[in-house]
Chain A
Amino acid sequence: MSASGEKHSPLEQFEITPFVHFEVGSVDLAFTNSSLAMVITTAVITLFLTLSVNTRSIIPSRVQLISELSYGFIAQLLKDTVGEQGRKYFPFVFTIFMFVLIGNMVGMLPYSFTFTSHIIVTFALAAVVFVGVTILGFAKHGMNFFSFFVIPGLPWYMLPLLIPIEVISYLSRPISLSVRLFANMLAGHTLIKVFAMFVITMPFYSGVLPLAFIVALTGLEILIAFLQAYVFAILTCLYINDALHLH
Chain B
Amino acid sequence: MDNNNDKISDLKKKINSIEKSHQSESMPKKESGVSFGFKISTELVAALVVGVGIGLLVDNYFNTKPFGLIIFFILGAFAGFFNVYRVMRRIEKQ
Interface residues, chain A, with chain B CB atoms under 8 Å away: 76-77, 80, 164-166, 168-169, 171-173, 175-176, 179-180, 183-184, 224, 227, 230-231, 238
> Measured between alpha carbons, how far is A76 from B76 in the docked complex, in Å?
35
Q: How far is the CB of B90 from the nearest CB of chain A, in Å?
A: 8
CB pairs A–B below 8 angstroms (30 shown): A76-B22, A164-B72, A166-B79, A168-B50, A168-B54, A168-B75, A168-B79, A169-B47, A169-B80, A169-B83, A171-B50, A172-B43, A172-B47, A172-B49, A172-B50, A172-B76, A172-B79, A175-B46, A176-B43, A176-B46, A176-B47, A180-B38, A180-B39, A183-B38, A183-B42, A184-B38, A224-B35, A227-B30, A227-B31, A231-B35
Give the residues in chain A near B43, CB-CB below 8 Å. Answer: 172, 176
Known: A80-B26, A176-B83. A168 touches B42 (CB 8 A): no
Give the residues in chain A near B49, CB-CB below 8 Å. Answer: 172, 175
Contact B78 A165 (CB under 8 A): yes
Among residues 28 to 54 in chain B, which have CB atoms less than 8 Å away from a CB atom of chain A?
30-31, 35, 38-39, 42-43, 45-47, 49-51, 54
> Measured between alpha carbons, how far is A180 from B31 in the docked complex, in Å?
14
Interface centre among A80, A176, A180 (most CB of B within 10 A): A176
Q: How far is the CB of B61 from the nearest CB of chain A, in Å?
A: 16
- Contact with A168, one of B22, B31, B38, B47 (Cβ below 8 angstroms): B47
Give the residues in chain A near B30, CB-CB below 8 Å. Answer: 227, 230
